[in-house]
Structure 1
Amino acid sequence: MSEPDDKQSARELIAKYALEHFEYFRTPDGTPYAQRAGHPVARPMKSQGVAGSHRQELMLDMFHEGLGVFSGTAMKEALDLIEALTLRGELREVSLRVARCSATPGVTWLDLGRDDGQSVRIAPGGWEVRTPKVHEVVWRRTQLTGELPIPESGHGLAGIDRLWGLCNFSDAESSALAVAWLLGCLDPTVPVPAPFLTGPQGAGKSTSARMLTRVIEGMSADLRRAPKDEDGLITAVAAGWITPLDNLSHLSADMSDLMCCIVTGAETLKRALYTDGDVHRSRYRRPLLLTGIDVGVIRPDLGERLLHLKLERPERRRPEADLWADFADALPAILGGVLDLAAEARTQQVETPTDLRMADFAHLCSQFDHVHHLGAVAAYRASLDDLTDDVIEGDVLAQTVLQYAATMGTAPAQQSSTAWLDIFTRLYSGSSEDSAYRPVPKGWPTTGKVLSDRLKRLQPTLAARGVIVEWGRRSRQEDPGRSRFIEITSKPTARL
C-alpha cells in the first residue's frame, strides 16, 4: 500500500474518502446501507453477493482515482467505523423493483434496473422516466433484478393488445384479470391475488406466465419450481418482486398457508447468525403467480386469494425463438400501455365493492372498469365463484354440509359440534344405490372440536353457496351449563 503524503493512517484516508463520496444510513430493521451520492441504488454494507459488495465498490473507486490499493484490515476497520456511525444517522426505507414515493402520497416508482438508475414515476394522470431523488425512493437490487426497456408512452390499451395477441387466454375475463393484476403489481400498497394459470397440456401456461412476469421483471426473469419448505419459499420471495412458481401439482397445508401470508403480508423472525439473542426480521408481501393443470385440493383461504386465468391450446404453433423475439420487440409498448392504464385508472373516483375479501384489488378493478369497461369486477367475481367450486369439489365435508342444507329448509338448526358430527357422518355413510354403507374418507373429522375447526375454515366457502354457519352459547335460562352450539342456516343465493 502506498503511504499518503500527510502520513494519515490508511483507515482514516479510506473513511474520509467514503464519507465524501457515499451516503450511509440504516433501514428501520437495522440493516446498514451505502449509497453513492446522487444515485438511487444502495448496497448493503455487509453483502458479498454476486452483484458486488460496497467494500468492492469502494476499493475500485479509490484504485481508479489513483489512491492506491489498501489492505483488507484497513478497509475493514474503516467500514466498521462507518457502520457504527449509521447507528446515529438517518433512517431510510429501501425498496425492490416497486416502491411508494416517500415525498408524494399516491405516487409510486418502478425500477427499470438500469445502471444509470433511471426509473418510472407513476402518478395519477401520468408517468415519466427520470432518476429519482434520494428523498423520493432508494432502490436495492439482487441477482433477480433484471433490466427493463424504456417504456413507450401513448399506447394505452393498444399496447395491452400486443400482449393479448401473444398469450393464449381462452376468454375476455381472463385477459381483463391479467391486466388488472399487472396494474396491481405496480402499486406496493395493494395486496393482489395470485394468478393461477390453468389449461390443458400445450396451452402455453408457462410461456404466458413468463410473459406476465417479464412485463414487470424484465427479459431475464424466469419461472421457478416451488420450494419444498418455508425457508426456500421465503428466500425466493425476498430476492425479487414477483415470485412465479411453475407446474404445481400439489400444495401441502403448510405451503398453502404460507402463500396466503405472502399475498396479504406477514413477517418471520429467526435468530441472527453468530449471535445468541439477536434476531433477523423478514417482512414480505409480494405478488405471486402460479401455473398448473391440477394442484389437488385448494384450501378455502388460499382460494380467496387466487385469480383463475384460463388458457387454451393455440390453433397454430410458432417457434419459440420467433415468439420471444416478438415479445421483446413489443415489451416497450406493452409496458408503456400498462403504465398508461395505471396512471389513468388512479384518477378515477369509484365505489369499492364491499362483498369481496381483497377490497383493495376489487377497488383497482373498479377503477380499471371505469376507464375501459372490460368487466374486471365481474370477471373477479366469476373467478372466485370458479375457485369456490374447486374448493367444494375437493372437500367431502363441504359437499356433505351442502347436501344436508339442501333438505333442511330455511329455519336455522342448532346442534352441538358432536351432534353435527354424528349427523354428517350418518348422512355421508348412509345407504345408496351402490352400497348400504360407505366408510368415511381419510381426513374426516374425528371429534366435535375438529369438525368445528374445519367448519370455521369452510365458513366463507359455504356462505358463498348460501349456507351460513355461526357459533354461539345458550343462555343460562335455556341451559344452566351454557353449552355451546353451531347454528346452520340455508339461504337462497344466486349464482353468477
Structure 2
Amino acid sequence: MSDDDKNPGREVIADYAQTHFRYFRTADGTVYAQRNGHPVARPIRSQGTTGSHRQELMVGLFKDGVGVFNGTALKEALDLIEALALSEDVQPVHIRVAPGFDGATWLDLGRNDGRSVRIHPTGWDITVPDPREVCWRRTQLTGELPLPAKGTDGKGIDLLLGLCNFATAETECLAIAWLIGCLAPGVPVPAPFLTGPQGAGKSTGGRMLIRIIEGMSGDLRRAPKDEENLIAAVAAGWVTALDNLSHMTPDLSDAMCCIVTGAENVKRALFTDGDVFRARYRRPLLLTGIDVGVIRPDLAERLLPLRLERPRVRRTEAELWTEYAEALPVVLGSLLDLTVKVRAITAETPTDLRMADFAHLCAQLDAATGLGALRAYRASLDDLNDDVIEGDLLAQTVLLHAESMPSGTEQRMTSTEWLHALSRLYSGEDCRPLPKGWPTTGKVLSDRLKRLQPTLAARGVLMDSGRTFEGRYLELARPAPPQPEQQQAF
C-alpha cells in the first residue's frame, strides 16, 4: 500500500471513537464522551490522572488491535470530535442523583457495570439506565454503594437509628426526612447541623448519614479557607460534609446559603482572555460542631439542628464500622422503600416556611408514618431563631422596644431616628457604651433590620420600609394576636 492510500492516525482514531462512543454537549458547551450502552460520561478535555476519556480511548484502540498512536494524532482527533459534537443535541450530566422519565428519579450506585436505582411511583428497581435518559458524571468523590436489599420491612431504619446517638425521636425523624430529600434532585434541603457535647459521636454520626448516599468512601472534610475551593469541592460530589466547625465567617455563611438553595459561579477560563467557566451547584450540605458562635438569620433558615448525646457504651471504630458496612444494604433498601411510600402521599404544602419543599416533604412523611416531622421542623426553626436573637444585641433591643408598644399598633420613623431611639434604649439610664458592631448610620441599621426581618416576624414583630413625599421610613408593627373564631350557635 502506498503512502497516499494510508489513513492518517487522526482519522483512524476519529472513526474508532465515533463507532464506540457517543459524543454530546451540555448547556455550557462542555463536550462529553459516553461509551455505547454505558451511562457514565466523561468530558473529552479531562486531563485527570485516572479515568479520563483520553485514557479509555487509548486503551480501547490498543485492546482492539487498532494500534498505538502518538499524542499529536490523539489531540487532532479529539479536536475534530469536539467540533463535531458542538452541533449535537444538548443533554445534562448528573452526579449521584438525576431526574428520569415518567416522574422517576435515579440514584447512581457508582459501580463499574453502570447499574443504578430507578425510583418510580410504584417502587424501585436496580437496572442500567438508558444513556439517553440519564448520563452520570463521576469524580474521585463518587464512591460505590452496595446493592440495596429488597423486602427489608423497614428494618434498615431501625438499624441506622440504633447506630447513631440521636438525642430525641424528633431528631431521628428530621434525619430521616433529610435523607429522603437527598434522593430528590430538584428539592433543596436544609443543612443538618450535628451538635452535642464532646464525645457524642458527631463526626461518626455525620459519616454514617453521608455514607448512605455516597458509599463507604464518603467522609467529612475541613471547611476550605476560600470560597473557590469550597465551590470546587461541592461541584465534584453530591453531599458535602464539613466537620468540626467552631467559627463561621460572613463569607462562609453566605457561601453555605448559596450551596443549599443553589447559585452559579462564573470565572475566567484557564489560558483564555475572554472566555468564562460556569459552575452551577445546589447540593445537600451537612455540618458538625459543638458551637459555631453567632448564626446569621439567613443561614438559620437553612439549617436543620440534629442533637446527639453521649453513648452509654463505647465501641471500637473497627467494630462499629464493620457492623455499619454489613447493615448498609438493608439501610439503603429501607430508605428507598420509605422514599417510594412518602412520594406517593399527597399532602398540603406549608406556606409559612422558607424551605417550602422540605416542609412539604416533612408533611408527606407525617402522612405516611405519623412521625411528627413537620412539628419537629418548626420547633427546630424556633430554637434557631432563639439562637439568632441571643447572639444579636440589636435584635434583642428591637424586641424590647416592641414590648413597650401596645398590641395592634405600629410606629414609623426614619432610619436615623430609629438608630437614635434604639441606641438610647440600649444605653439606658447608666449610658453604657454601645457594643462593637452596633450600627453607626441609619443606612447600616436599615440593612441589619432587613436581615433580621424573618427572625423578628417569628416573634410577632413586623418590620417594613417605604417612601413618602417626606422621605424613606422604617415601620415597626406589633400585630394583635388572632382572635379565636366565635362558635356558631346551632
TM-score (norm 2): 0.96
- Distance in 2 of aligned mates of 1:167 and 1:299: 28
CA contact (8 A) 1:125 1:343 kept: yes
Does residue 267 of the first structure (1) align with residue 268 of the second (2)? no
CA contact (8 A) 1:168 1:314 kept: yes
Which aligned pairs between 1:47-86 and structure 2 lie closer than 5 A? 47-86=46-85
- Distance in 2 of aligned mates of 1:60 and 1:51: 12
Q: In structure 2, which of residues 433, 442, 451 is the aligned counterpart of residue 457 of structure 1?
A: 451
Amino acid at match of 2:229: G
1:276-306 residue CA offsets vs partner (Å, 9 max, x unmatched): 1111001000000001111011000000000
Distance 1:3 1:112, change over 3 A: farther
Which aligned pairs between 1:295-314 and structure 2 lie closer than 5 A? 295-314=292-311
Q: In structure 2, which of residues 253, 257, 260 is the aligned counterpart of residue 256 of structure 1?
A: 253
Q: Which runs of 5+ in 2 are unaligned?
A: 483-490
SS of the residue aligned with 2:139?
coil
Amino acid at match of 1:280: F
Distance 1:418 1:349, change over 3 A: same
Which aligned pairs between 1:333-412 and structure 2 lie closer than 5 A? 333-410=330-407, 411-412=409-410
Aligned to 1:423: 421
Aligned to 1:173: 170
CA contact (8 A) 1:41 1:140 kept: yes
Which aligned pairs between 1:432-471 and structure 2 lie closer than 5 A? 436-471=430-465
Does residue 15 of the first structure (1) align with residue 14 of the second (2)? yes
SS of the residue aligned with 2:193?
strand
Which aligned pairs between 1:178-193 and structure 2 lie closer than 5 A? 178-193=175-190
Which aligned pairs between 1:236-255 and structure 2 lie closer than 5 A? 236-255=233-252
CA deviation after TM superposition for structure 1 residue 257, in Å:
0.9
- Distance in 2 of aligned mates of 1:207 and 1:4: 65
Amino acid at match of 2:449: L
- Distance in 1 of aligned mates of 2:413 and 2:242: 43
SS of the residue aligned with 2:124?
strand
CA deviation after TM superposition for structure 1 residue 482, in Å:
2.4
- Distance in 2 of aligned mates of 1:46 and 1:399: 55
Amino acid at match of 2:263: A
CA deviation after TM superposition for structure 1 residue 154, in Å:
2.1
Q: In structure 2, which of residues 300, 321, 326 is the aligned counterpart of residue 329 of structure 1?
A: 326
Q: In structure 1, which of residues 132, 136, 148 is the aligned counterpart of residue 133 of structure 2?
A: 136
- Distance in 1 of aligned mates of 2:23 and 2:190: 36
Moved more, 306-315 or 400-409: 400-409
SS of the residue aligned with 2:412?
strand
TM-score (norm 1): 0.95
Aligned to 1:478: none
Moved more, 86-95 or 194-203: 86-95
User: RMSD of the TM alignment (CA)?
Assistant: 1.6
Amino acid at match of 1:489: A
Moved more, 214-223 or 464-473: 464-473
CA deviation after TM superposition for structure 1 residue 77, in Å:
0.9
- Distance in 2 of aligned mates of 1:42 and 1:4: 37
- Distance in 2 of aligned mates of 1:393 and 1:235: 34
CA contact (8 A) 1:156 1:336 kept: no
CA contact (8 A) 1:430 1:437 kept: yes
Aligned to 1:36: 35
SS of the residue aligned with 1:445?
coil
Distance 1:365 1:64, change over 3 A: same
- Distance in 2 of aligned mates of 1:492 and 1:394: 27
Moved more, 33-42 or 272-281: 272-281
Does residue 226 of the first structure (1) align with residue 214 of the second (2)? no
Q: Runs (4+) of structure 1 moved beyond 4 Å?
A: 2-6
CA contact (8 A) 1:156 1:338 kept: no
CA contact (8 A) 1:350 1:363 kept: yes
- Distance in 1 of aligned mates of 2:78 and 2:467: 63
- Distance in 2 of aligned mates of 1:320 and 1:386: 33
Moved more, 117-126 or 49-58: 49-58
SS of the residue aligned with 1:84?
helix
Moved more, 199-208 or 86-95: 86-95
CA contact (8 A) 1:156 1:341 kept: no
Does residue 483 of the first structure (1) align with residue 477 of the second (2)? no
1:11-38 residue CA offsets vs partner (Å, 9 max, x unmatched): 1111111110000111111001100000
CA deviation after TM superposition for structure 1 residue 6, in Å:
5.9
Identity across the alignment (%): 67
1:131-152 residue CA offsets vs partner (Å, 9 max, x unmatched): 0001210001000000000001
1:371-409 residue CA offsets vs partner (Å, 9 max, x unmatched): 111001001101101110111111110011111111222
- Distance in 1 of aligned mates of 2:5 and 2:337: 57
- Distance in 2 of aligned mates of 1:4 and 1:305: 67
- Distance in 1 of aligned mates of 2:61 and 2:326: 40
SS of the residue aligned with 1:129?
strand
CA deviation after TM superposition for structure 1 residue 493, in Å:
6.5
Amino acid at match of 2:235: A
1:200-239 residue CA offsets vs partner (Å, 9 max, x unmatched): 0000000000000000000001100001111011011011
Distance 1:493 1:333, change over 3 A: farther
Aligned to 2:90: 91
CA deviation after TM superposition for structure 1 residue 345, in Å:
0.8
- Distance in 2 of aligned mates of 1:6 and 1:188: 52
SS of the residue aligned with 1:88?
coil
- Distance in 2 of aligned mates of 1:93 and 1:489: 48
Q: Which runs of 5+ in 1 are unaligned?
A: 475-480
Q: In structure 2, which of residues 195, 199, 204 is the aligned counterpart of residue 202 of structure 1?
A: 199
- Distance in 2 of aligned mates of 1:50 and 1:353: 48
CA contact (8 A) 1:263 1:305 kept: yes
- Distance in 1 of aligned mates of 2:49 and 2:322: 28
Does residue 124 of the first structure (1) align with residue 121 of the second (2)? yes
- Distance in 2 of aligned mates of 1:409 and 1:396: 22
